[in-house]
Amino acid sequence: MDQFTLNLLFVGASFALYIGIAIWARAGSTSEFYAAGRGVHPVTNGMATAADWMSAASFISMAGLIAFTGYDNSSFLMGWTGGYVLLALLLAPYLRKFGKFTVSEFIGDRFYSSTARMVAVICLLVASITYVIGQMQGVGIAFGRFLEIDAFWGLLIGACVVFAYAVFGGMKGVTYTQVAQYCVLITAYTIPAVFISLQLTGNPIPALGLFGSTESGEPLLVKLNQIVTDLGFAEYTAAHGSTINMVLFTLSLMIGTAGLPHVIMRFFTVPRVSDARWSAGWTLVFIALLYLTAPAVGAMARLNISELMWPNGTSGEAVSVEQIETDPDYAWMATWQKTGLLGWEDKNGDGKIQYYNDANADLQAKAAENGWEGNELTNFNRDILVLANPEIASLPGWVIGLVAAGGLAAALSTAAGLLLAISSAVSHDLLKGQLTPNMSEKSELMAARLSMAAAIVVAVLLGLNPPGFAAQTVALAFGLAAASIFPALMMGIFSTRINNSGAVAGMLAGLAVTLLYIFLHKGWFFIPDTNTFTDADPLLGPIKSTSFGAIGAAVNFAVAYFVSGMTKETPQEIKDLVESVRIPRGAGVAVEGH
């Protein structure tokens, strides 16, 4: 059976499984849909939340970004896990005690203002749409590869599948479907990593293999550092970027994690306040399984690629064009070339492909000596690394098919979940809650579908010219959530001083400065060439647009305090509400708001 058929088989079988479970456990009504989470054990809920949370960014993109940058991209690892500490300590138990279903409902009630609720909805929409762009990129790459077509067509086909998935409610947040998706996703991520770790270090646990030794007794990371510096690239384990930027970037990702509505929502429906605390811990357990493996996947893939390009060592001859075209170990290069995400060119016509950093002075000297005319591995999109990884390591065909299914599970589940969050924000919070309260259930459903369609069209249009690799685009979404939602929630619980005007002003200020900073660097509405600055030379010292969320959050806090101090005090009944949110006793079941 050829690889193409095998991939389709794995992808098809996993989809059949999700749809089967969705039909078996289908929620009949809105309240049943919400209630589904109420009887769920914290461990099961943790697994489902982990599936909801780990998207194309975690699965497809992150290890590739770590592989090609090394230590400096550790921010993704710390940021996307450290946020759960904030969530467990500062938000989850209190929001559960409050007992409503959506983040904007909490903000509307705590700040006794429908304006605050509306502003929260807007913040949520901006962050979610940016997030969907990143997911669509991942979907495009996955479909492009497995249907062996250009990534552009992959994106269009993927968009149709995501839309169908979300509209027909195949995902509908049914917890058990997500549990199945988690299992597919984690198996698909771990199995190739175990194989590769065994090949390179003899250790079956990739996380330990990363710090293990290769066959020659040399530590893996020492060997990797040696090879990449020989080729003129930056040392893998060393810090190269600005420390301030790395701190702010990590902090933005952490705060953003704790401010993402589709993650927070899952903690509203656990049975008790104490379960909300445990649930955050279990979620992180299941996320950590992937996150402890990811840095090993990155480092090992980098080593494998470098060795494939220089099969005779970095001082020997480079791989020949003929070998790339005929040797089965290099077959993955031809398959990925079809997506337009991998490319090479024999610039000096010597029949070999030299892969090195042609911006490095030492290597330029070496190149002049040897008659090289620049790096010949001309295009290597970071986002393909995880999907190509099993092929790069020459693993069996079924592993490749499994990774295909895993990548699609990650991207589709999160994309569909986000579309549902967007559509419910528009139809439930914005239209029914504010603009047209007398809307019938039928037209609410219609509005939900239309807004879903609109969101996906916007995401596809913007996804064609993405502002970065998938994980970077998603990082921007986190910055926006960090600057707008998290501060409002935290102040709502930990301070009785913040009043309606303070919260509204804070959210608007945080969102506005962050959005402005991002657009100045990434182009207005991410349209190429409309940017004034670049991330290589940012407006404020070393602070890149992906790191600005932490500053936006600080602005949010400061403005909220200042404005609250100048305006009327919080009424007594709201102070009582805050007091009651702080103690677990008396937590009833969550109820649907208006």
Q: Which stretch binds another protein (CB under 8 A): 84-92, 173-181, 374-382, 465-473?
A: 84-92
Q: Which residues neighbour 93 within 8 Å (Cβ) at sequence distance 6 or greater?
A: 273, 274, 276, 277, 584
Strand partners, 342: 380
- Per CB under 8 A, 25 contacts another protein: no
CA distance 564 to 495: 11
Q: Does 81 bind another protein (CB under 8 A)?
A: yes
Strand 352-353 vs strand 379-380: parallel, antiparallel, or unpaired?
Answer: unpaired
Q: How many other CB atoms sit within 10 Å of the CB of residue 58?
A: 26
Least separation in angstroms between residue 246's CB and another protein is 6
Cβ distance to another protein smaller for residue 8 or 90: 90
Query: Burial, 325: exposed, middle or buried (Cβ in 10 Å; 0-12, 13-18, 19+)?
Result: exposed
DSSP label at 88?
A: I
Q: Does an H or E element contain 590, and which? A: none
If one counts every other C-beta atom within 10 angstroms of the C-beta of residue 127, the result is 30
Q: Is position 497 an interface residue for another protein (rule: CB under 8 A)?
A: no
Nearer to another protein, 504 or 581 (CB): 581
Residue from 582, 589, 591, 592 that binds another protein (CB under 8 A)?
Answer: 582
What residue type is assigned to position 325 of the chain? Answer: E
In this structure, is the dihedral angle defined by the CA atoms of residues 316, 321, 322 and 328, taken in order, positive or negative? positive
Cβ at position 193, least distance to another protein in Å: 14
Per-residue binding letters, 261-280, with another protein (x by CB under 8 A): -----------xxx--xx-x
Nearest-approach distance from CB 291 to another protein, in angstroms: 6
572 binds another protein (CB under 8 A): no
Closer of 239 and 334 to another protein (Cβ): 239
Contact 557, 66 (CB under 8 A): no
Of the candidate residues 160, 164, 583, 591, the single one contacting another protein (CB under 8 A): 583
Task: Please tell me whether residue 237 binds another protein under the rule CB under 8 A.
Answer: yes
CB of 384 to another protein, least distance (A): 22
- Look up tokens 């702080």; give the residue: 582
Distance CA 338, CA 333 (A): 9
User: Counting contacts by CB under 8 A, is residue 454 touching another protein?
Assistant: no
**By the rule CB under 8 A, 228 interacts with another protein:** no
Residue of 37, 64, 93, 192 interacting with another protein (CB under 8 A): 93
Distance (Å) of CA 558 to CA 12, 75, 447, 543: 51, 25, 37, 20
Pick the stretch among 220-228, 259-267, 438-446, 449-457 that binds another protein (CB under 8 A). Answer: 220-228
CB distance 240 to 250 below 8 Å? no
Check residue 388 for interaction with another protein (CB under 8 A).
no
Instruction: Please report whether residue 484 would count as binding another protein according to CB under 8 A.
Output: no
Single residue of 65, 174, 185, 207 touching another protein by CB under 8 A? 207
Taking the least distance from each CB to another protein, the nearer of 35 and 288 is: 288
Q: Select the residue interacting with another protein from 33, 71, 176, 533 (CB under 8 A).
A: 71
Question: Between residue 278 and residue 317, which ones bind another protein under the rule CB under 8 A?
Answer: 278, 280-281, 284-285, 288, 291-292, 295
Compute the distance between CA of residue 1 and CA of residue 222 in angstroms, rounded to an integer: 40
60, 411 Cβ separation under 8 angstroms: yes
Q: Which of 22, 142, 166, 251 binds another protein (CB under 8 A)?
A: 251
Report the DSSP beta bridge partners of residue 213: 219
Per CB under 8 A, does 205 bind another protein?
A: no
Q: Binding another protein by CB under 8 A: which of 82, 232, 261, 506?
A: 82
Asked whether the beta carbons of 385 and 142 are under 8 A apart, the reply is: no
What is d(CA 177, CA 75) in angstroms, rounded to the nearest whole number?
A: 30
> CA–CA separation, 144 vs 167, rounded Å?
23
Which residue from 9, 19, 35, 78 is in contact with another protein, where contact means CB under 8 A?
78
Q: How far is the CB of 564 from another protein (least distance, A)?
A: 20
Strands 352-353 and 319-320: antiparallel
Q: Which residues contact 590 (CB under 8 A, 6 or more apart)?
A: 34, 38, 96, 99, 100, 101, 268, 269
Looking at 17, 19, 43, 85, which residue binds another protein (CB under 8 A)?
A: 85
Shortest distance (Å) from residue 90 CB to another protein: 7
Q: Which is nearer to another protein, 57 or 425 (CB)?
A: 57
Nearest CA to 590 out of 175, 26, 105 is that of 105
What is the binding site for another protein (CB under 8 A)? 71, 74, 77-78, 81-82, 84-85, 88-90, 93, 207, 210-213, 218-223, 225, 237, 239, 243, 246-247, 250-251, 272-274, 277-278, 280-281, 284-285, 288, 291-292, 295, 579, 582-587
